[in-house]
Structure 1
Amino acid sequence: MKKLKLMKVLNRNNHKRIYLKTPLKILFIILIAIGGLYSCSVTKYIPEDDHLYTGASLEMISDSIIKHEDALKNELETVLLPAPNKKILGLYPGLYLYYKNQKENPGFINRWLYKKLGEKPVYQSDVETYEIEKLLLNRLENRGFFYSRASSKTEEKGKKASVAYTVKIPQPYKMARYQLDTIPPPAQVEIKDLVSKTSFKEGMRFDLNNMKLERQRIDFKLKEKGYYNFDDSFLIFEADTNTYNNKRYDLFLKLKKEVPKKSIVPYKINNVNVYTSYEISDSIQTETIRYNGKNFIQKEVVFKPKYLDPFITLEADQYYSPENSKNTARRLSTIGAYKYVNIQYQEIDSLATDTLGVLESNIYLSPLNKRALRAELQLVTKSNNFSGPAFAITFSNRNLFGGGETLNTSAKVGYETQIGGANKTGKSSLELGFKNELIFPRVLFPIKINENFFKYAIPKTKMSIGANYLKRTQLYTLLSGTGLFGYMWDANRFITHDINPVSINYTELSNTTAEFDKILEDNPFLKRSFDQQFIPGLTYSFTYNGLVDVHKKHQFYLNTLFDIAGNTVGLLGKQKNADDPKTFLGLEYAQYAKVDLDLHYHLNLGKDQLIATRLFAGYGMAYGNSEVVPFVKQYFSGGPYSVRAFRIRSLGPGTYSDEEGTNDGDFFDKTGNIRLEANIEYRFPIFSFFKGAVFADAGNIWNSKENPTFNGKDKFTSNFINELGMGAGIGLRVDIQSFVIRLDLAAPFHDPSLPEGERYNFNLKAPILNFAIGYPF
């Protein structure tokens, strides 16, 4: 029998490719070229008996039509090594820096530039054409093109040389049959069934990569059926061409010789041991609690077994499954009480047979500190020139009731004062906040819900209550309270649901001054948005986060938020007179529906380069008891996470302009019930953890119903495109292990508040500096 054995492709990539990563580096290169390269050629440094290598070309000559020819050529070109020195505008800046540094005293700047951009020369003598030809043939054989031929020709021109490779490709070998060779039981039955479900088809071209994928598929499926010790390297393919004389072959799958017997038998789990508070140095006496077929081993009852058990999908008498192990580890890690989850298996030889192996599963859980304290210092700046510090502190108490519960208690104090602006009045504000949040890692519902329904993760129940006090001197005092009850659920690694059937907001405006009363009197819409103090509602958020696949070229993110208020209490509302708004428990309540759409698309260019785009659309509709959406639920535009060329709340609504420049009224007025924004940003590395960005933003807010205060300039119309505020800028980010400090400098080039004909003006004289934590989108 004539057989073609599979060959492993050697990747002899001993030469590193150097890529230009950022516009800043390109700028350096251009400066170097202007400063010296035009007057000095690198060719004079090339040794007399050698040539500078300028690269290689590849010509493919085939006897037949090749399917996916471009992909095959791209693969073959990857072995055309070494890569030549990089050229920019016909010059060799990296090579020039190398020769410059061969001098006795090259200088600090030259040494630094060479470290960042320099390249060692690649000469003709570095090119091993014979080895490259062997690699080309090897790649072709791995794709079924056996008996191909490869040749090369070196072309010299002055002090430079290149290589032209030619491959002559015959018709490929194609598969006639694919079948299983002799494999001992019990694995034979399982593998035979898997082979019958293969994607291999008659006439398929011989392809080593497809065969590797087939081995991995069979290994994965066998693992799911309990074959704990199996490995894809135990499988081997053999191709038999002896039966045919027209470049066809039979493909056989078989086991390698001397494969361990235990690798071809399935394993079952005998015991599941859970160490609920495991420490490596632990030598204290433990006790074992038997619950639902599992052994919970701990020093004391810290985490109650009845609450921990639903997170564990491993069970006794269950076949080994790596998927179950992953699910158990992931579900346990989402509780929030453990820093490490480690699952190990131990073979029990005394219970093993010729057809079945036995495993003991040990789950080691290392708890986080029961109590934690986090403090945060913030610096707040606003468009009305109010700035000041804020201090927040959060105390966390984990595993509060022995079921993985987490209680977060947070307090905040902030102070702002007006430190600049043409209308500086010396006003200041004091804010005090307090919030309690309790999270249960399970579903709390009047009707029992089977946790087995949630395959990926068990939903969490959250409830919170908070209060906030805001004192703005010479204006008003605002007291607000919030209450929430809802659920969070990860459906899979991409999708998250967040639903709050109970969401309550209460605000009370008091101690208003004559100045603030005048602001409300001049803007009835604003006054009405403060009148309705009670906001009972329901919110639902759906998130698809494809950005977790950081290596994918195309990445998507989608978040939709639905916020509906007043429907439930509306059934119980009372009304004194026909024209009066309804009340509940003596409180006038708001009714509105609001929907947000936030869509991100990232194009991954590789080498830490990324084009990030974002589109946001939001609409709020007041109805029933409300004429306008409450102030705290309205949209605003501008700021470090919005249109960065405009300050927070300074953009819109529509084409409105505060001609008198009254900062205080302007701060409240610039809200609306419609918001549209679009952003695009090119991100690139600079040096170490310093990253850069070039960006452009567009957006605005509008009202669906005209506010008389704005003289009709705030209403949304079909001309909204011409009413977008637009700006562009550059950014610097310090990115240390996903903790990002961001500085963005932006200037507007289209200001809708200006008269038509004057809106397009790239105002570089008044840029806006945005300081923020995290990326904008």
Structure 2
Amino acid sequence: MTENHKITVIFLTVFLLLQSCAVKKFIPEDERLYTGASVEIKSDSVIDNKENLETVLEEALRPEPNSKFLGMRPGLHFYYKMQQQNPGFINRFFYKRIGEEPVYQSDVKPFEVEEILRNRMENRGFFYSQISSEFEEKEMEASINYTVKAPTPYTIASYQLDSLPRPIYSEIKQSVGKTKLSKGMRFDLSNMKLERERIDNDLKHNGYYNFNANFLIFEADTNQYDRKKFDLYLRLKKEVPNKAIVPYKISKINVYANYNSQDTTTTEVTRFNEKNFINSADFFNPKYLDPFITLEEGQFYSPEDSRNTSRRLATIGAYKFVNIQYKEKDSSLTDSLGILEANIFLSPLNKRAIRAELQAVTKSNSFAGPGLAVTYSNRNLFNGGETLNTTASFGYEVQLGSGSNSGNTSINLGLKSELIFPRVIFPIKIDTDFFEYAIPKTKTSVGVDYLSRTKLYTLLSGTAQFGYIWQANKYVTHEIIPISINYTKPSNTSPEFEEILDENPFLKRSFDQQFISGLNYSFTYNGMVDTAKKNQFFLNATVDVAGNSISLFGKENEMGKKEFLGLEYAQFAKFDADFRYHFNFGKEQVIATRLFGGYGYAYGNSDIIPYVKQYYSGGPYSVRAFRIRSLGPGTYNDAENPENNYFDQTGNIRLEANIEYRFPIISYLKGAVFADAGNIWNSKANPVYHGADKFTSNFINELGMGAGVGLRVDVQGFVIRFDFAAPFHDPSTEEGFNFDVNETVFNFGIGYPF
């Protein structure tokens, strides 16, 4: 151990002792600090799943002792500090965050805890258990040990269904046949509760609309046995209402596709596919709305069908509320059947909406400027749930500084329209019953972008896409774009720009192939929707393939490259994966991690992937200690070639890793501490970069790394993010690891980075 390490260990030990003493000096003379309890189970027989039983007993121990961290009790420390006459700002701040009132030995009620433990044991078949307790006292501290003497537990000899009225008898008998309760199982109230809920769920799916799990009761009979066995009987409680023990059928389905809660007057009814569409035909065509409704007249009530219908209707994107109500027809109730009328109330969103986004951009090449995007949405455009989104964007950047390129400007104009149909548009009719969770949507979009960079070129590009998006279940989403076309045309090129291209053949080739036609597929697993889970996972995998289909029709030009309709087209394949893991603990505290890997391969008609399809690294959603598109490729240093820094630094390989600790500060203000690592490379070295950009086995040492802190304003899921990060490893320099605060980068973003 080095001298520095010895000093650190000694300092930490002294600090912990001082903190411990600082707490103990505040404990009253007639008290001891309660440090916790333990439970020991003693039994003459083998206990199945003993670990689970111990966990159940430990959860019943009261009270909870004060929390500890590295041997200290910071919450208790700040509580005592607050009792002083002038606690100070720091003590008040931390007391609000982590302060805890002390728990003393006198707060422990052993007899009450023993009674709770005895109850837990009886609920799991260990009747007549003996519980004892004993305090273990030290100077200023005390703990307690509970000893549980467990007798041989009672076990099931048989599980039988008692006599029940029809028709519910046959339904419950069929459900009991699928039970997990078996001969030899230990008596356990929690298992019986689960059994009642399982039977109730089965009955609900068979139409028993008014049934409740509490209507079922278990009875145990030990009279037939001498060796702690019992017969278990299931029956109905007394005075269960008749309407609870008969199934219900749906006699009528009424759909209010344009429901206004203040307008209950019925004026028009359209009958379609055995459903009544009320005041709906002029708003939402019943032909297009009907496939989203899985309820049918004449079928038995099913909560699953109700949930499916509600969820499918909500995915249309035209409604803010979906409310399904059932009305009982008491006059039609018999001893064997009940009748329901289903009313589906759909409250539309505003037909038109406008959203504006204001952005600020700053890049490593000293370009900075504002950006504005305005989106106009028109919902239910053709009375079939269609949504039209039209976005107009404007961006202006100017290169600051005193170099030769100072004063250069960049103007970006864009217009994009996206039309989404909440159904499958395909030459062959698709049976929507196959898509149980949600009906796929058809997406079409067209867009045009204009980019003007002074002294260099003007770039006009157009895009068109047609594809489908389908949510397979709660977690999984598929998106396939079988038709994706991108055309880019440079014009007004200056001699300076032509000279740059001549000196950089890789850049020149990335601009040459102006036509991209391909297929995209994306798979997303989003476990983040389970917000209450401690462990959350997310995975997005994307495949982008271009040029294969049109290569069948291509004709070779004088340069040996194939063209389609007179345009040289690109051929490449890209695959990338984005994996995220969140560990949730404490109150709004999260450790969020992310891994990203991407690879692009040019083949056939292409020597290099088109410029617009290449990867970049750095920025508010990447490695935040480096400005956007400024990191890499490899160990390349753009300071050596200032004439090339007008272009973003790109590559066909990208690797990144991020970790972030998120915590609450006060109200809507959240904090974060993070570290990022990543870079881009080329699989084939670009001569302009002198080989610094090529991916090798030494890639780990070429990762750009940085760390920083962040502030986030989180108002009901809408997040405005401010991150400050500084690099501690810059692959473009030979300084090694050096945390340079003077190179701190400010990042502004909307939403969390991952």
Q: TM-score range by the shorter chain?
A: over 0.9
Q: Deviations over 1:703-724 (max 9, x none)?
A: 1222221222222223322322
Larger relative contact order (C-alpha < 8 A, sep ≥ 6)? 1
Q: Which amino acid aligns with 2:722?
A: L
Q: Which amino acid aligns with 1:607?
A: K
Q: Which amino acid aligns with 1:600?
A: R
Contact between 1:37 and 1:96, CA under 8 Å: does it hold in 2? no
Using the alignment, how far apart are the partners of 1:220 and 1:751 within structure 2?
A: 59
Using the alignment, how far apart are the partners of 2:89 and 2:650 within structure 1?
A: 55
**Who is 1:686 aligned against?**
665
Contact between 2:658 and 2:677, CA under 8 Å: does it hold in 1? yes
Contact between 1:650 and 1:667, CA under 8 Å: does it hold in 2? no
Q: Which amino acid aligns with 2:562?
A: K
Contact between 1:175 and 1:248, CA under 8 Å: does it hold in 2? yes
Range that drifts further, 150-159 or 629-638: 150-159
Contact between 1:525 and 1:628, CA under 8 Å: does it hold in 2? yes
Using the alignment, how far apart are the partners of 2:280 and 2:699 within structure 1?
A: 66
Q: Which amino acid aligns with 2:742?
A: K
Q: Which amino acid aligns with 1:725?
A: G
Cα distance change on mapping 1:43 and 1:647 into 2, 3 Å: closer
Contact between 1:526 and 1:669, CA under 8 Å: does it hold in 2? no
- Is 2:531 the partner of 1:550? yes
Relative to the length of structure 2, the TM-score reads 0.94
For structure 1, list consecutive stretches of 5 or more residues without a partner in the other structure: 1-29
Q: Which of 656, 663, 668 is the equivalent residue of 2:647?
A: 668
- Is 2:678 the partner of 1:702? no
**Who is 2:131 aligned against?**
150
Cα distance change on mapping 1:583 and 1:35 into 2, 3 Å: closer
Q: Which of 373, 397, 418 is the equivalent residue of 2:354?
A: 373
Q: Which amino acid aligns with 2:584?
A: N
- Is 2:738 the partner of 1:748? no
* SS of 1:75 mapped into structure 2: helix
Q: Which of 34, 39, 52 is the equivalent residue of 1:53?
A: 34
Q: How far does residue 615 in structure 1 lie from its aligned partner after superposition?
A: 1.8
Contact between 1:153 and 1:163, CA under 8 Å: does it hold in 2? yes
Q: Which of 610, 614, 618 is the equivalent residue of 2:598?
A: 618
Relative to the length of structure 1, the TM-score reads 0.91
**Who is 2:743 aligned against?**
766
**Who is 1:12 aligned against?**
none
Using the alignment, how far apart are the partners of 1:317 and 1:426 within structure 2?
A: 74
Q: Which amino acid aligns with 2:640?
A: E
Q: Deviations over 1:711-744 (max 9, x none)?
A: 2222222332232222233333222212122222
Q: How far does residue 748 in structure 1 lie from its aligned partner after superposition?
A: 2.5
Q: How far does residue 673 in structure 1 lie from its aligned partner after superposition?
A: 1.2
Range that drifts further, 149-158 or 83-92: 83-92
Cα distance change on mapping 1:116 and 1:615 into 2, 3 Å: closer
Using the alignment, how far apart are the partners of 2:685 and 2:41 within structure 1?
A: 68
* SS of 1:765 mapped into structure 2: helix
Q: Which amino acid aligns with 1:143?
A: R
Aligned residue pairs total 743
**Who is 1:597 aligned against?**
577
**Who is 1:643 aligned against?**
623
Q: Which amino acid aligns with 1:615?
A: L
Q: How far does residue 37 in structure 1 lie from its aligned partner after superposition?
A: 7.0
**Who is 2:4 aligned against?**
none
Q: Which amino acid aligns with 2:637?
A: S
Using the alignment, how far apart are the partners of 2:654 and 2:71 within structure 1?
A: 49
* SS of 2:742 mapped into structure 1: coil
Cα distance change on mapping 1:87 and 1:484 into 2, 3 Å: closer
**Who is 2:8 aligned against?**
none
Using the alignment, how far apart are the partners of 1:290 and 1:450 within structure 2?
A: 22
Contact between 2:482 and 2:518, CA under 8 Å: does it hold in 1? yes
Using the alignment, how far apart are the partners of 1:69 and 1:691 within structure 2?
A: 42
Q: Deviations over 1:450-470 (max 9, x none)?
A: 111211111111111111111
* SS of 2:645 mapped into structure 1: helix
- Is 2:478 the partner of 1:500? no
Q: Deviations over 1:624-654 (max 9, x none)?
A: 2211110000111112211222222222212
Contact between 1:228 and 1:266, CA under 8 Å: does it hold in 2? yes
Q: Which amino acid aligns with 1:442?
A: R
Contact between 2:363 and 2:630, CA under 8 Å: does it hold in 1? no
**Who is 2:752 aligned against?**
775
Q: Which amino acid aligns with 2:681?
A: W
Using the alignment, how far apart are the partners of 2:151 and 2:171 within structure 1?
A: 38
* SS of 1:679 mapped into structure 2: strand
**Who is 2:703 aligned against?**
724
- Is 2:390 the partner of 1:401? no
**Who is 1:468 aligned against?**
449
Q: Which amino acid aligns with 2:743?
A: A
Contact between 1:727 and 1:748, CA under 8 Å: does it hold in 2? yes
* SS of 1:680 mapped into structure 2: strand
Using the alignment, how far apart are the partners of 2:433 and 2:598 within structure 1?
A: 36
Q: How far does residue 290 in structure 1 lie from its aligned partner after superposition?
A: 0.4
Using the alignment, how far apart are the partners of 1:302 and 1:563 within structure 2?
A: 39
Using the alignment, how far apart are the partners of 1:532 and 1:101 within structure 2?
A: 70
Using the alignment, how far apart are the partners of 2:507 and 2:620 within structure 1?
A: 25
Q: Which of 285, 304, 312 is the equivalent residue of 2:293?
A: 312
Q: Deviations over 1:346-401 (max 9, x none)?
A: 01122221111110000000011111111111112222121111111111111111
- Give runs of aligned pairs for residues 289-308 of structure 1, distance below 5 A: 289-298=270-279, 301-308=282-289
Q: How far does residue 484 in structure 1 lie from its aligned partner after superposition?
A: 0.8
Cα distance change on mapping 1:112 and 1:675 into 2, 3 Å: closer
Using the alignment, how far apart are the partners of 1:326 and 1:509 within structure 2?
A: 52
Using the alignment, how far apart are the partners of 1:624 and 1:98 within structure 2?
A: 71
Q: Which amino acid aligns with 1:590?
A: A
Q: Which amino acid aligns with 2:752?
A: Y
Q: Which amino acid aligns with 1:759?
A: G
Using the alignment, how far apart are the partners of 2:566 and 2:138 within structure 1?
A: 93
Cα distance change on mapping 1:46 and 1:552 into 2, 3 Å: closer
- Is 2:104 the partner of 1:123? yes
Aligned-pair identity (%):
65
Q: How far does residue 217 in structure 1 lie from its aligned partner after superposition?
A: 1.0
* SS of 2:640 mapped into structure 1: coil
Contact between 2:256 and 2:280, CA under 8 Å: does it hold in 1? no
Contact between 1:284 and 1:299, CA under 8 Å: does it hold in 2? no
Q: Which amino acid aligns with 1:429?
A: S
Q: Which amino acid aligns with 1:629?
A: I
Cα distance change on mapping 1:506 and 1:430 into 2, 3 Å: same
Q: How far does residue 130 in structure 1 lie from its aligned partner after superposition?
A: 1.0
Using the alignment, how far apart are the partners of 1:454 and 1:607 within structure 2?
A: 38
Range that drifts further, 676-685 or 446-455: 676-685
Contact between 1:596 and 1:618, CA under 8 Å: does it hold in 2? yes
For structure 2, list consecutive stretches of 5 or more residues without a partner in the other structure: 1-10
Cα distance change on mapping 1:667 and 1:427 into 2, 3 Å: closer
Q: Which amino acid aligns with 2:148?
A: V
**Who is 2:6 aligned against?**
none
Q: How far does residue 80 in structure 1 lie from its aligned partner after superposition?
A: 1.7
Using the alignment, how far apart are the partners of 2:655 and 2:31 within structure 1?
A: 62
Q: How far does residue 180 in structure 1 lie from its aligned partner after superposition?
A: 1.2
- Give runs of aligned pairs for residues 199-348 of structure 1, distance below 5 A: 199-298=180-279, 301-348=282-329
**Who is 1:173 aligned against?**
154
**Who is 2:564 aligned against?**
584
Q: How far does residue 669 in structure 1 lie from its aligned partner after superposition?
A: 5.9
Q: How far does residue 300 in structure 1 lie from its aligned partner after superposition?
A: 5.8
Q: Which amino acid aligns with 1:147?
A: Y
Q: How far does residue 281 in structure 1 lie from its aligned partner after superposition?
A: 0.8
Contact between 2:328 and 2:341, CA under 8 Å: does it hold in 1? yes
Contact between 1:385 and 1:421, CA under 8 Å: does it hold in 2? no
**Who is 1:25 aligned against?**
none
Contact between 1:61 and 1:168, CA under 8 Å: does it hold in 2? yes
Cα distance change on mapping 1:679 and 1:363 into 2, 3 Å: same
Q: Which amino acid aligns with 1:726?
A: M
Using the alignment, how far apart are the partners of 1:498 and 1:268 within structure 2?
A: 38
Range that drifts further, 664-673 or 595-604: 664-673
Q: Which amino acid aligns with 1:230?
A: F
**Who is 1:652 aligned against?**
632
**Who is 2:553 aligned against?**
572
Q: How far does residue 675 in structure 1 lie from its aligned partner after superposition?
A: 1.4
Using the alignment, how far apart are the partners of 1:126 and 1:474 within structure 2?
A: 79
Using the alignment, how far apart are the partners of 1:452 and 1:524 within structure 2?
A: 54
Cα distance change on mapping 1:293 and 1:391 into 2, 3 Å: same
Range that drifts further, 249-258 or 605-614: 605-614
Q: Which of 667, 690, 701 is the equivalent residue of 1:711?
A: 690
Contact between 1:649 and 1:667, CA under 8 Å: does it hold in 2? no
